Amino acid sequence: MEKVQAIIAIEASKNLKNTNYQFYIQLGLVYFRNDKSSFYRRCFMETIFKYFQPRSEYLEGYKFFSEICNQLNNKFFYVEMAFALFFAYQLKMFDNVKNILNIHFLKFDFNNYDSLKYYCMYFFYQGQYFISIKVLLFLINILTSK
């Protein structure tokens, strides 16, 4: 399985812009559903994120990353968790990422800088979600207290 993931990650990083991205999305949903973290998994997810994000394909990104995250064991940090929260925040749609919103302590390899920036991104968007909920509850409280 790891060799297949490596081939998909390498081909996606080279050819994603030149081919139909839906092909790679389908491969990702099949071959990256497991809970095993690896360099190639991170590489593939980062490639998909970098394809969707500049094009403002937020709904596509949300669908893909939230589906991947629904299959994850939440004891370890996976970069797709950060990407799912990024797209969820852009769309203000959090229903499909509820399973990763309340995680505060995740196992993480701090020697990997690329993952560290996404680790920070995960907590940033998690914080944005909680701040927006607090503001919403505050406004509701003010409006209903009159």
User: Is residue 60 within 8 Å of residue 69, measured between CB atoms?
Assistant: no
The answer to whether 73 and 62 are in contact (CB under 8 A) is no
121, 82 contact by CB (below 8 A): yes
Q: Residue 139, Cα to own-chain centre: how many angstroms? A: 29
pLDDT of residue 88: 95
83 contacts 45 by C-beta, under 8 angstroms = yes
Does pLDDT of 111 surpass 70? no
pLDDT digits (tens, 9 = 90+) for 47-95: 999 999 998 889 999 999 999 998 887 678 889 999 999 999 999 999 9
Q: How confident is the model at residue 146 (pLDDT cuts 50, 70, 90)?
A: low
CA–CA distance, 131 with 119 (Å, rounded to integer)? 19
Q: What percent of the chain has pLDDT over 90?
A: 38
Higher pLDDT, 119 or 103: 119
3-state SS, residue 86: helix
Query: CB-based contacts of 100: which residues, under 8 Å, 6+ apart?
Result: 69, 72, 74, 81, 84, 85
pLDDT digits (tens, 9 = 90+) for 118-135: 888 988 999 999 898 888
Does the structure show a pLDDT above 80 at 142? yes
Of 63, 61, 65, which Cα lies nearest the Cα of 79?
65
- Residue 21 tokens read as 């991205």
